[in-house]
């Protein structure tokens, strides 16, 4: 007997599980294939800082029970300055968040198969996908297949839908810590804040963070892209673990802090321009595209929105009397992605690349500029609006802009 579904989803991360929730709620037969075992899920994939915003919580019906702490502010730090902006947020317990998405999807009728490692697509005589193979010779057939496996992307890669470039891969590590001095006199008050720090001595070619999870507890980590900027500022042979340990050893906020046992999270994602996201009977979502916010690294909300865009596309195609699932019919997904998931993706990525190219002293100046402006300028720049970005540039940034232009031409 052939296993056949309306939709087969590879990966039970936030994007895959949310897509299953939406489709199951609409009454579709959905199966999700997840590599991890059910008993341990999501031990191996519990790798997100899980910082997000109330708009995600309300849009997707996420309960308060998976929130470690609610925050009031976003703080930006440079080597010698800091800038505070009121922006409510939430730091999730990532494992419990993922478990909720799976449980809720199941309640609505989605089927989950754990210990199911998807390996390759099943193609028909015209090389169009009609299902997937997993665990060697196990097979599942579906009208539409969705790859939500993140950077692994076994189906999307086999179909030549995405090209995740190694030089654009960001790697990160995070500790959950207690005994952190969250209101140190030399720094901003972080007791109800998510802090991001731009400092090449700590994270060359990237950034570091402290996300409050309690009065003296926090998620503490660093992330960087192993690009030219990282190689320029990095110490030879130094690992991401070494950079985080050095920061923890030097920063006075961690003088009496300790790492929580078993609470070390590692992850990777690609920060690059989006390319193709679909083909006949196939859609890629979440970090398979990739979808992570290029500027601040926030991936949950965008991954969830990409899942919703995919579900809306599937619903439109499968409710059609002819159930058209060819590439042209599924192209609405890319329209929704660029409109709703990551508008102005190109300009925001350019801002990110320019930001990581800047030296430490330019970070100090940026934060001094922000201290003299209103939050609206930062918001506009963060959205990729050219007028907002221009307000934060100076005449003596011309050499930096020229250097960026040369690197883009040689890329």
Spatial separation of the C-alpha atoms in residues 114 and 17, rounded to whole Å: 13
The helix (run of H) or strand (run of E) holding residue 259 is strand 258-270
Domain extent at residue 198: 72-91+167-270
User: What is the tens place of the pLDDT at every residue in 358-383?
Assistant: 889 989 998 998 888 766 776 776 66
Q: Same domain for 185 and 294? A: no
Mean pLDDT confidence for 1-7: 86
pTM for the complete prediction? 0.90
User: Within a domain: residue 64?
Assistant: no
Q: Tell me: cis bond preceding 290? Omega within 30 of 0 counts.
A: yes
User: Within a domain: residue 62?
Assistant: no
Using a pLDDT cut of 90, give the percent of the chain over it: 62
User: Within a domain: residue 15?
Assistant: yes
Question: What CATH number is associated with residue 151?
Answer: 3.50.50.60
Structure tokens at 208: 């570091």
Three-state DSSP class for 69? strand
Q: Residue 152 contacts by C-beta under 8 Å, 6 or more apart in sequence? A: none
User: Within a domain: residue 101?
Assistant: yes
Structure tokens at 312: 């809306």
User: Within a domain: residue 67?
Assistant: no
Spatial separation of the C-alpha atoms in residues 180 and 359, rounded to whole Å: 28
User: Within a domain: residue 179?
Assistant: yes
Residue 44 contacts residue 36 (beta carbons within 8 Å): yes
> What is the Cα gyration radius of the chain?
22
Using a pLDDT cut of 70, give the percent of the chain over it: 89
In the block, which residue shows the tokens 């609006």?
Answer: 385
E strands, 158-240, are 169-178, 193-197, 206-212, 217-225
Q: Same domain for 193 and 244? A: yes
Mean pLDDT confidence for 378-406: 69
Domain termination site, one of 341, 364, 380: 341
User: Within a domain: residue 54?
Assistant: no
Residue 103 contacts residue 111 (beta carbons within 8 Å): no
CA 14 centroid distance within chain: 10
Confidence at 26, pLDDT banded by 50, 70, 90: very high
Structure tokens at 336: 């929704």
Mean pLDDT confidence for 15-35: 97
Domains contained in the chain, number: 3
Domain termination site, one of 314, 341, 368: 341
User: Within a domain: residue 406?
Assistant: yes
Question: What CATH number is associated with residue 199?
Answer: 3.30.9.10
Of 130-144, 333-347, 378-392, minimum mean pLDDT range: 378-392
Q: Same domain for 182 and 248? A: yes
Residue 205 contacts residue 226 (beta carbons within 8 Å): yes
């Amino acid at each position: 007997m052939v296993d056949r579904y309306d939709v087969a989803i590879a990966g039970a991360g936030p994007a895959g599980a949310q897509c299953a929730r939406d489709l199951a709620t609409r009454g579709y037969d959905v199966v999700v294939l997840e590599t991890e075992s059910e008993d341990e899920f999501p031990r191996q994939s519990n790798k997100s800082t899980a910082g997000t915003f109330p708009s995600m919580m309300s849009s997707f019906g996420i309960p308060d029970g998976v929130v470690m702490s609610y925050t009031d502010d976003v703080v930006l730090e440079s080597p010698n300055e800091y800038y505070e902006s009121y922006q409510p947020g939430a730091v999730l317990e990532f494992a419990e968040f993922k478990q909720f998405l799976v449980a809720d999807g199941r309640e609505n009728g989605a089927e989950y198969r754990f210990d199911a490692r998807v390996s390759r697509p099943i193609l028909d005589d015209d090389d169009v996908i009609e299902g997937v193979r997993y665990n060697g010779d196990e097979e599942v057939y579906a009208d539409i297949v969705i790859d939500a496996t993140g950077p692994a992307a076994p189906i999307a890669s086999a179909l030549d839908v995405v090209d995740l470039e190694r030089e654009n891969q960001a790697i990160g590590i995070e500790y959950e810590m207690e005994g952190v001095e969250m209101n140190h006199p030399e720094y901003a008050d972080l007791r109800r804040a998510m802090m991001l720090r731009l400092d090449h001595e700590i994270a060359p070619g990237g950034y570091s963070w402290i996300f409050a999870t309690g009065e003296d507890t926090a998620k503490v980590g660093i992330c960087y892209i192993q690009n030219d900027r990282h190689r320029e500022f990095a110490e030879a042979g130094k690992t991401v673990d070494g950079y985080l340990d050095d920061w923890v050893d030097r920063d006075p906020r961690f003088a009496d802090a300790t790492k929580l046992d078993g609470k070390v999270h590692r992850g990777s994602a690609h920060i690059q321009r989006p390319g193709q996201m679909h083909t006949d009977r196939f859609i890629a979502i979440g970090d398979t595209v990739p979808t992570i916010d290029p500027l601040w690294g926030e991936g949950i909300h965008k991954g969830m929105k990409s899942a919703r865009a995919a579900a809306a596309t599937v619903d439109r195609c499968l409710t059609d009397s002819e159930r058209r699932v060819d590439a042209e019919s599924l192209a609405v997904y890319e329209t929704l992605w660029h409109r709703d998931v990551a508008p102005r993706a190109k300009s925001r990525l350019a801002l990110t690349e320019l930001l990581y190219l800047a030296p430490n002293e330019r970070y100090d100046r940026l934060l001094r500029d922000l201290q003299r402006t209103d939050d609206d300028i930062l918001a506009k720049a963060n959205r990729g609006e050219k007028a907002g970005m221009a307000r934060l540039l100076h005449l003596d940034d011309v050499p930096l802009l020229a250097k960026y232009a040369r690197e883009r031409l040689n890329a």
